[in-house]
Amino acid sequence: MLLSLFDSPTIVAEAVDHAEAARAAGFDRFWMPQVMNADTMVTLGVVASRVPDIGLGTSVMAMQTMLPQTMAQQARTVNQISGGRLTLGIGVNHEPVVTARWGLPWDKPYSRFVEYLDALLPLLEHQAVETSGTWVSHSTMIDVPSEAPDVMLAALGPRMLALAAERTSGTITWMTGPTTIESHIRPGCVGGRVVAGVPVVITDDVDAARSRVNRLLAIYPQLPSYRAVMEREGASEAADMCLIGSIDEVAAGLARYRDAGADEVAVNLLVAPEALAEAIGAVGALRSSLAPAE
């Protein structure tokens, strides 16, 4: 199983430092989400130019934030800078974000996403597309010399999981839990890779860490898709979906994801900035123990 770092820095220079620490600790990939922090594609372009020998990924870019042509241009540009190290993770985001924050419609998200892929994937692969749909139509080309990046989808529902396996390399999940990976994600994404994003806190004060995590991740129990995951996991609060405890307890938790069928775990280390480098080193030291059993 691959081991990756999931990071959402506000300062680009810090992203470079974190990616370099991850590379030095033996992590396989450096993932960045598209949230309210430093721009994902711009930051990964800088990281790509300064940190060699580690994969890069977006987890995830929302289709509503840019046209397929723009997404393809940015992704191929980062792949050009990185020498082919980018995995483009894309998704549809969540209804409260799309409607309340962005003021965009939410109707038919799956059908819209299929049409978005109809435009995006040919642009990534061939740099040209001719497609006409109800929501997405593109008759255009780009010119960005590079390899086509690998593509993965954020998927939780059955149709999205099947789409991820059929049209891309697999799915990127967040706070899904090993039970959900084994019983729902892995069977729903047959033939595709599964990346599990996992919040992690290494601590000897579990109660304080759980309180802090519940504040940081308070949005997730409010989202229908994550409530369904929490019910499947038997979780009552956000902290139940995290690995919190000693390094040995974290190691055991990561192993459960491996045994459940995850091909890669991306750890989001929820620690104080001054403790991040040490935490990266501690988790990186677990990499060899997470290899599949012979």
pTM of the model: 0.94
CA dist 172 and 184 (Å) reads 13
Is the pLDDT reported for residue 63 higher than 50?
Answer: yes
Kindly state whether residues 136 and 223 are assigned to the same domain. Answer: no
Tell me whether residue 166 is in a domain: no
**Is residue 100 exposed (0-12), middle (13-18) or buried (19+ Cβ within 10 Å)?**
exposed
Compute the distance between CA of residue 227 and CA of residue 175 in angstroms, rounded to an integer.
Answer: 11
- What is the spatial distance between Cα 9 and Cα 46, in angstroms, rounded to a whole number? 13
Q: Which of 30-39, 95-104, 211-220, 278-287 has the lowest mean pLDDT?
A: 95-104
Average pLDDT of span 266-287: 94
Classify residue 161: in a domain, yes or no. no
Same-domain status, 198 and 112 = no
Q: Are residues 124 and 268 in the same domain?
A: no
Predicted local confidence at residue 46, as pLDDT: 98
| DSSP one-letter code for 128 | E
**φ and ψ of 153, to 5 deg:** -115, 145
DSSP helix/strand/coil, 2: strand
CA dihedral 216, 217, 223, 229 (to 10 degrees): -170
Q: Answer yes or no: do 276 and 188 share one domain.
A: yes
Is 109 within the bounds of a domain?
yes
Same domain, 54 and 144: yes
| Domain finish residue from 154, 182, 215 | 154
Does position 267 have pLDDT exceeding 50, yes or no? yes
**Both 187 and 83 in a single domain?**
no
Q: Tell whether 160 is covered by a domain.
A: no
Query: Are 37 and 137 part of one and the same domain?
Result: yes
Of 154, 184, 207, which residue is a domain's last? Answer: 154
Q: In this structure, is residue 293 part of a structural domain? A: no
Shared-domain flag, residues 9 and 57: yes
Give me the pLDDT at residue 244, please. 97
For residues 187 and 106, membership in a common domain is answered with: no
Average pLDDT value over all residues in the chain: 95
- Burial class of residue 68 in the structure, from the number of CB atoms within 10 Å of its CB (0-12 exposed, 13-18 middle, 19+ buried): buried
| Residues 144 and 212 grouped into a single domain | no
Q: Examine residue 292 and state whether it is found in any structural domain, yes or no.
A: no
Taking 80 as the threshold, does the pLDDT of residue 274 lie above it? yes
Q: Is the pLDDT of residue 206 over 90?
A: yes
How many separate domains does the chain show? 2
Are 79 and 194 members of one domain?
Answer: no
Using the predicted structure, report yes or no on whether residue 293 has a pLDDT greater than 60: no
Domain span at residue 281?
Answer: 173-287
Task: Give the model's pLDDT for residue 294.
Answer: 47
Q: What percent of the chain has pLDDT over 90?
A: 87
Q: What confidence tens digit (pLDDT) does each residue in 120-142 have? A: 999 999 999 999 999 999 999 99
Q: Are residues 136 and 258 in the same domain?
A: no
Any domain includes 275: yes
Query: 68 in a domain, yes or no?
Result: yes
* pLDDT number for residue 149: 98
CATH of the domain at 16: 3.20.20.30
